[in-house]
Structure 1
Amino acid sequence: MRVKKRAFQVLSAAMAAVMVAGCAGPTATEATKTAAAAGTETGTGNYDEPMTFDFYDVAANYQGTQAGWFAKVVKDKFNIELNMISPQVAGNGIYQTRCSTGNLGDIVLLERTDFTDCVKAGLIKDITADIKNYPDLMTYNDQITVLNKALPENKDGKIYGIPCQMTNTSPTSYSQDVIKSSPLLRWDLYSELGRPDIKNTDDLLDVLEKMMKAHPTNNAGDPAYPLSLWKDWDGGDGMLGIANVAQLTTWYGEIIKGSNILKPDNTFIPVNSKDGAYYKMLHFLNDANRRGIVDPDSGTQDWNTACDKMKTGRVYLMWYNWQVGF
Structure 2
Amino acid sequence: MEIRKKIVSGIAATLSAAMLVSVAACGGNDSASDGPDDGSFMKVDVFSSTANYQGVQKGWFAKIVKDKFNMELNIIAPNVAGGGDTLFDTRSTAGNLGDLVIVGMQNGRLQKLVKSKLITDMTPYYGKMTNVKRYQAGVDYVTKQAGQDGVWGVPGNVSDESPTKSADGIEPAAAPYIRWDYYAKIGYPEIKDLDGFADVLKQMQDKAREETGDDDIYAVSLFKDWDGEMMQNAMAASQWYGYFAQNSVLVPSDDKDSQIVPASQVGSAYDKMIEFFNKCDRMGLVDPESTTQNWDNLSTKVTNGKVLMSIWSWLGKPRMNGNENQEKGVGFMLAPLQDMDVYTPGFQPEGDGNTFIAIGSKAKNKERLAKFIDWLYSPEGIYASAANSGGAACPKEMCWTLNDKGEPQLNEFGEKAMFNSDGLQVPAEYGGGSYNDGISTLNFKTVNANSTDPDTKSAFNPQLWATQLAKQTKLSEDWSKHMGGAKTDIEYLEKAGKLAVAPGATYTPPEEDSQISTLRSSVKTEVINASWQAVVAKTEAECQSTFKNMGTQLNDLGYAQVLKVDEDNAKALIKARQEIVKEYADKE
Query: What TM-score does the superposition give when structure 1 sets the normalisation length?
Result: 0.64
**1:253/1:50 CA distance change after superposition, 3 Å:** same
**1:136/1:161 CA distance change after superposition, 3 Å:** closer
**1:188/1:98 CA distance change after superposition, 3 Å:** same
Specify the SS of the correspondent of 1:205. helix
Q: Which residue of 1 aligns with 2:196?
A: 203
CA shift, 1:309, in A, is: 2.6
* Further displaced range: 121-130 or 95-104: 121-130
Specify the SS of the correspondent of 1:113. coil
**Structure 2 Cα separation of the partners of residues 269 and 301 of structure 1:** 30
**1:232/1:82 CA distance change after superposition, 3 Å:** farther
CA shift, 1:179, in A, is: 2.5
**1:139/1:211 CA distance change after superposition, 3 Å:** same
Q: Which residue of 1 aligns with 2:134?
A: 139
Q: Which residue of 1 aligns with 2:300?
A: 308
**1:314/1:170 CA distance change after superposition, 3 Å:** same
CA shift, 1:263, in A, is: 0.7
**Structure 1 Cα separation of the partners of residues 117 and 194 of structure 2:** 47
CA shift, 1:72, in A, is: 6.3
**1:251/1:73 CA distance change after superposition, 3 Å:** farther
1:150 matched to 2:145? The reply is yes
**1:270/1:134 CA distance change after superposition, 3 Å:** same
Q: Which amino acid in 2 is paired with 1:74? A: F
Q: Which residue of 1 aligns with 2:173?
A: 180
Greater RCO (Cα-Cα under 8 Å, separation 6 or more): 2
**Structure 2 Cα separation of the partners of residues 118 and 300 of structure 1:** 41
Specify the SS of the correspondent of 1:256. strand
**RMSD, matched Cα:** 4.3
CA shift, 1:315, in A, is: 2.3
**Structure 1 Cα separation of the partners of residues 120 and 54 of structure 2:** 27
**Structure 1 Cα separation of the partners of residues 102 and 215 of structure 2:** 39
Q: Which residue of 2 aligns with 1:298?
A: 290
**Structure 1 Cα separation of the partners of residues 118 and 288 of structure 2:** 43
C-alpha contact 1:217 1:223 (8 A) present in aligned 2: no
Q: Which residue of 1 aligns with 2:232?
A: 243
**1:262/1:193 CA distance change after superposition, 3 Å:** same
CA shift, 1:206, in A, is: 1.5
Q: Which amino acid in 2 is paired with 1:146? A: Y
**Structure 2 Cα separation of the partners of residues 123 and 285 of structure 1:** 52
**Structure 2 Cα separation of the partners of residues 316 and 196 of structure 1:** 16
Q: Which residue of 2 aligns with 1:11?
A: none
Q: Which amino acid in 1 is paired with 2:144? A: K
Q: Which residue of 1 aligns with 2:122?
A: 128
Q: Which amino acid in 2 is paired with 1:182? A: A
Q: Which residue of 2 aligns with 1:252?
A: 241
**1:135/1:301 CA distance change after superposition, 3 Å:** farther
**Structure 1 Cα separation of the partners of residues 152 and 302 of structure 2:** 40
Deviations 1:268-319 (A, max 9, x none): 2222222321111122222223333223333333333333333332322123
**1:219/1:118 CA distance change after superposition, 3 Å:** farther
C-alpha contact 2:110 2:145 (8 A) present in aligned 1: no
**1:125/1:228 CA distance change after superposition, 3 Å:** farther
C-alpha contact 1:225 1:294 (8 A) present in aligned 2: yes
Specify the SS of the correspondent of 1:150. helix
* Further displaced range: 74-83 or 306-315: 74-83
C-alpha contact 1:148 1:159 (8 A) present in aligned 2: yes
**Structure 2 Cα separation of the partners of residues 302 and 117 of structure 1:** 38
Q: Which residue of 1 aligns with 2:312?
A: 320
**Structure 2 Cα separation of the partners of residues 131 and 303 of structure 1:** 44
1:113 matched to 2:128? The reply is no
Q: Which residue of 2 aligns with 1:171?
A: 163
Query: What TM-score does the superposition give when structure 2 sets the normalisation length?
Result: 0.38
Q: Which residue of 1 aligns with 2:61?
A: 74
1:214 matched to 2:207? The reply is yes
**Structure 2 Cα separation of the partners of residues 82 and 313 of structure 1:** 39
C-alpha contact 2:104 2:110 (8 A) present in aligned 1: no
Q: Which amino acid in 1 is paired with 2:248? A: S
Specify the SS of the correspondent of 1:94. coil
Structure 1 residue runs of 5 or longer lacking an equivalent are: 1-17, 19-38
Q: Which amino acid in 1 is paired with 2:122? A: T
Count of aligned pairs = 268
**1:199/1:161 CA distance change after superposition, 3 Å:** same
Specify the SS of the correspondent of 1:95. coil
1:94 matched to 2:89? The reply is no
**1:172/1:99 CA distance change after superposition, 3 Å:** same
**Structure 2 Cα separation of the partners of residues 313 and 190 of structure 1:** 14
